[in-house]
């Protein structure tokens, strides 16, 4: 029993399950935007299917990321203890985990609607493909942002079977927000990336310039949050959430300096995890309580 529990813990650690707080709240925003429209209604079955899609897609993506990077993770002192390079999870087991979750994702979309099912292979290509981009381009941060940005528009399409402008704006919020904080996260590996010819903005520009780029990207995020409020005719609850989210955006830039990256993990995980939950809660409350 203890052995089984340990294996489960290893897989939870492999996919960093706690990091679902980055994309899942935005999927809930997309779902809520759809069911708040007059012609649609809440369905617990559909809600659970969307949650399962998010879990399966993320499991496949993170599993593939760890599998694809196992050689580099073994060389990097910061990541050498991860599950695959340390041998806690064998290569064949990791491969099976990735394949099973990818299949479950596609199968689950089949029970949602036709458009979601048709788009599922493209979604998988994006979320899995990110893991290879660090080998070829400094735009890898934006590809990660793109993969997580599928959450709000994907959830909206799951309910409505169509695209809409406002969920796309929320997807752009996710894209810029994630890209900005991934640049901050990459600060801790800038020297390693240079030594192994991996691409990242910090490794190519230096830490100071990388932080300035992240500042600018998060300014765009702020502008998009304001735009989403006006486009969606938001009430006061939305604006409270927008202010709190923006404060947390600024906070992470205040605690990470080019010559002091000791609080990168606080900025990356804790601050951004809280930011996504706060924004989602206030957006959803505003959608259902403002009238």
Looking at the domain assignment, is residue 1 inside a domain? no
pLDDT along the chain (291 residues), means of 10: 72 74 93 95 96 95 94 94 92 95 98 97 96 96 97 97 97 98 96 96 97 98 98 97 97 95 88 94 93 57
Judge whether 151 lies within some domain.
yes
Give 216's Cβ-side CA count (13 Å radius). 6
Look at residue 198 and tell me if it is in a domain: yes
Cα–Cα distance measured from residue 30 to residue 122, given in angstroms and rounded to the nearest whole number:
19
Alpha helices (H) in 81-164, listed in sequence order: 91-110, 114-133, 140-160
The pLDDT, as a whole number, for residue 269 is: 81
> Is 285 inside any structural domain?
yes
3-state secondary structure string across 6-25? HHHHHHHHHCCHHHHHCCHH
Residue tagged 């990091």 (tokens):
19
Give the pLDDT confidence score for residue 193 in this predicted structure.
96
Residue-range definition of the domain harbouring residue 68: 8-289
Question: DSSP letters of 212-240?
Answer: HHHHHHHHHHHHHHHHHHHHTT--HHHHH
Task: Determine the pLDDT at residue 11.
Answer: 82
CA distance 238 to 244: 10
The model's pTM: 0.94
CATH of the domain at 271: 1.10.357.140
Give the chain's domain count. 1
Give the number of residues written for the chain: 291
CA distance 183 to 237: 30
In a domain? residue 95: yes
Q: Which two tokens stand for residue 251?
A: 């906070």
Q: Is residue 163 part of a domain?
A: yes
Say if 3 falls within a structural domain. no
pLDDT at 22: 86
Tokens of 12: 């939870």
In a domain, 73, yes or no: yes
């Amino acid at each position: 029993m203890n052995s089984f529990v340990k294996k489960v813990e290893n897989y939870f650690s492999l996919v960093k399950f706690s990091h679902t707080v980055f994309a899942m709240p935005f999927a809930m925003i997309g779902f809520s935007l759809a069911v708040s429209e007059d012609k649609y209604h809440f369905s617990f079955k559909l809600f659970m299917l969307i949650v399962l899609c998010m879990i399966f897609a993320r499991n496949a993506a993170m599993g593939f990321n760890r599998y694809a990077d196992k050689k580099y993770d073994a060389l990097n002192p910061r990541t050498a203890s991860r599950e695959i390079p340390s041998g806690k999870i064998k290569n064949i087991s990791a491969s099976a985990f990735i394949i099973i979750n990818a299949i479950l994702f596609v199968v689950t979309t089949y029970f949602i609607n036709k458009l979601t099912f048709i788009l599922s292979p493209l979604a998988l290509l994006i979320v899995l493909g990110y893991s290879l981009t660090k080998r070829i381009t400094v735009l890898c941060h934006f590809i990660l942002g793109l993969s997580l940005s599928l959450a709000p528009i994907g959830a909206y399409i799951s309910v409505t079977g169509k695209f809409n402008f406002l969920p796309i704006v929320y997807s752009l919020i996710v894209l810029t927000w994630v890209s900005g904080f991934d640049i901050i996260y990459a600060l801790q590996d800038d020297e390693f990336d240079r030594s192994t010819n991996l691409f990242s903005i910090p490794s190519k520009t230096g830490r100071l310039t990388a932080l300035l780029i992240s500042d600018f990207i998060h300014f765009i995020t702020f502008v998009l949050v304001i735009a989403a409020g006006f486009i969606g005719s938001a009430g006061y609850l939305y604006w409270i959430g927008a202010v709190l989210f923006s404060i947390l955006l600024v906070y992470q830039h205040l605690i990470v300096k080019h010559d002091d990256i000791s609080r990168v993990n606080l900025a990356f995980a804790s601050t951004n995890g809280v930011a996504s939950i706060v924004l989602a809660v206030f957006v959803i409350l505003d959608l259902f309580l403002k009238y």
